[in-house]
Amino acid sequence: MSIEKAVQILQTGGLVAFPTETVYGLGADATDPHAVARGYDAKGRPSFNPLIAHVPTLKEAEAHGHFSPRARALAQAFWPGPLTIVVPRRPDSSVAELACAGLATIALRAPAHPVAQSLLKAFGRPIVAPSANRSGHVSATRAGHVREDLGQAVELVLEGGQSEIGLESTIVSVDADGRATLLRPGAIERAEIESITGPLAAAQPGKVQSPGMLESHYAPRARLRLDISAPEPGEAYLAFGAPAPAGGLTLSASGDLTEAAANLYAHLRTLDASGTASIAVAPIPARGLGEAIRDRLARAAAPR
Ligand code: TXA
Ligand code: MG
């Protein structure tokens, strides 16, 4: 059975594309930062945009986000379906921090497509899935499009026919006070959403991506120096392409950018927690995922 095979692939950190009623998604185990990093790499995403975590029902979603009464009402009205709800992230959520790009919120969606539902129920963990296209291309609405765009980077493409909706989910954020904002117009019309939420606040364009937001969340307490081959005495060293030195850590001893991406946030936190005044980071090549890693490091090192 292909669902069984898909579950095995996800359990071992692989990528499975699956149909939803909006577009095909490029699925990875949301709780495995290495698998999440592979997903970014396969898409060729220029930066670590936050991803949507897919769950079968509201019950599972509530393990990862705080649902105000209004957020719950939205889920009850439109799930399973083409709506993504952004809510405050629960600190005990098992979804990898990399998938949330360092934000204090999490995007959750329960898709309706029967293949997606079967996969989510069989896997039993949330699945992050950006649209299954190369970054910048149009979204994939047939299994064949996924193959064309992503080729061998995806181990399995679950066949689900043509996407019924073919337009990405509507994204609405609902904060702790129940204030609802339309972040992305999509498969569900504004009026339908507003029938539940009342008038939607306008999204501030680019807010999620804003350097300030990510900076303030990810800047370590310690000073960060980038592209350093020889750390100063007393500095904690974040290595790349070499083993960890005493008192330091390595993003990837073998120089694997996917592994480095998966380790980045956790290692910065660990070194910061060691109490060092300064963290020196080895040069990271700008190719592939390195571009995104460098982008995050530059934000973290920016003057505060
Ligand atoms: O229909 C869809 O939504 C498809 C299917 C596969 O579910 N997925 C999809 O994912 O379109 P993607 O990664 O292409 O777009 C997700 C959008 C991005 O624009 C991202 O910035 C936003 O969701 N997003 C994710 N987490 C967010 C958060 N915590 N706050 C604000 N926006 C968020
Ligand atoms: Mg997309």
Per-residue pLDDT of the chain (304 residues; tens, 9 = 90+): 799 999 999 999 999 999 999 889 999 999 999 999 999 999 887 667 899 999 999 999 999 999 999 999 999 999 999 999 999 999 999 999 999 988 999 999 999 999 999 999 999 999 999 989 887 677 788 899 899 889 889 999 999 998 887 788 989 999 999 999 988 888 888 888 999 999 998 877 555 543 333 443 357 789 999 999 999 999 999 999 999 999 999 999 999 988 887 788 778 878 988 999 999 999 999 887 787 688 778 878 887 7
C-alpha–C-alpha distance, residues 8 and 39, integer Å: 17
Ligand 1 pocket residue status of 130, Cβ below 6 Å: yes
CB distance 172 to ligand 1 below 6 Å:
no
Q: What does the buried/exposed string (b/e) look like for 72-87 if buried means 16 or more CB atoms within 10 Å of the residue's CB? A: bbbbeebbbbbbbbbb
- Side chain identity at 248, as an amino acid letter? G
Name every residue whose Cβ is closer than 8 Å to that of residue 256 and which is 6 or more positions away in sequence. none
- How far, in Å, is the centroid of ligand 1 from the Cα of 46? 15
What gap in Å lies between CA 212 and CA 304, rounded to an integer? 9
Q: What is the distance in A from the centroid of ligand 1 to the CA of 50?
A: 7
Find out whether the beta carbon of 133 lies less than 6 Å from any atom of ligand 1.
Answer: no
- Alpha helices (H) in 93-142, listed in sequence order: 114-123
Q: Which of 6, 47, 1 minimizes the C-alpha distance to 26?
A: 6
Distance 107 CA to ligand 1 centre (A): 7
In angstroms, what CA-CA distances link 126 with 58, 68, 93, 110, 119? 12, 20, 10, 10, 10
Pocket test for ligand 1, best of 15, 85, 117, 131 (most atoms within 8 A of CB): 131
Residue with tokens 């399973």: 80
Establish whether residue 141 lines the binding site of ligand 1, counting it when its CB lies within 6 angstroms of any ligand atom.
no
